[in-house]
Amino acid sequence: MTSPKGSKTMGRSSSARPSVNESILIMDFGSQYSRLIARRIREANVYCELVSPGTEWEPLAKLNPKGIILSGGPASVYAPEAPVAPEWVYSKQIPILGICYGMQVLTFQMGGFVEPSDMREYGQAKLMHDASHPILKGISDETTVWMSHGDRVTKLPEGFKPLAHTSNSSIAIMGNSHNMIGLQFHPEVAHTTEGRKLLNNFLFDICKCTGDWTPGNFVTQAIEDLRNTIGTGKVICALSGGVDSAVVATLIHRAVGIQLTSIFVDNGLLRKDEASRVQGMFSRHFNMKIIHVKAQDEFLNNLKGITDPEDKRKIIGKTFIEIF
């Protein structure tokens, strides 16, 4: 097998991950669909986690990964500082599924070539098989897929072969004998009519997942892991009023009760009366200790005159952290 190019490992490890029998790791390269991939995997009753390209292997090993998905992303692999997968993705000999940019990363790091396409492909396309492979099990001879890419694979890495094509992509699916597969399209979106079947082929026929995970299992395990990690210590939790922080606060409170203090930073950007409902729900219904910080004026002053959505997001995040 060819050694991967451009691999590096950065980031810090975490010991707070749940104990699961098996998992799929989704390496997030910044795709707008990364969380949708996670949703599709979990709908198939397989636990998964989104991880950054800088994540080290050691904290992930306890998840017993059965497969790795390389997500799409906005970058071009030949651009300076383009994100690539760390070396362990290839050295652990775990099945890999590269999606769109993920396929290009796989190609680039395994010694193939990726170049700008003469024509950006965006929208639905007809996929046709070129070979038999477990990823194509039960897939129609001609099926609709969703394309969104400006680059294309022009030379396959050693040991890979084309498995399917479209009218504009001669290599729409590629694979090798080491369970490394690349899809130039997005199987996770509804516009790819047999996308779930393709993902399930990867999960169950290639990765050999059992599919015995449920959200209920996760909640039970997460609470147990939190108790074991926190012990008799005290916890502060940042609460924004959104779904993510609300779920985190609820799980921690169920695990350690009064050891938790949630700091609700009211940024003035919630829906009408939502801030009071958030505080009421957590303090009265869950009997959670909450510090309510009314910081509407500070957020709105910092956002005054700002029109770019990305600039707004960064200002809101920075202001939230400073106040917290």
**Catalytic sites, residue numbers:** 100, 186, 188
Q: How far apart are CA 300 and CA 288, in angstroms?
A: 28
How many residues are present in the chain? 324
C-beta of residue 151 within 8 angstroms of C-beta of residue 113: no
Bridge partner residues of 116 (DSSP):
151
Pairing of strands 260-266, 235-239: parallel
- DSSP, collapsed to helix, strand or coil, labels residue 183 as strand
Q: Contact 53/86 with Cβ under 8 angstroms?
A: yes
296-303 helix and 309-323 helix, angle to the nearest 10 degrees: 150
Cβ burial 10-49 (10 Å sphere, 16+ → b, else e)? eeeeeeebbebebbbbbbbbebebbeebbebbbebebbbb
Round to whole Å and give the CA distance between 64 and 323: 38
Q: How many CA atoms lie within 13 A of 34 on its CB side?
A: 21
Q: Which long-range contacts (CB under 8 A, 24 or more apart) does 89-93 make?
A: 89/4, 89/7, 89/27, 90/1, 90/3, 90/4, 90/7, 92/57, 92/65, 93/178
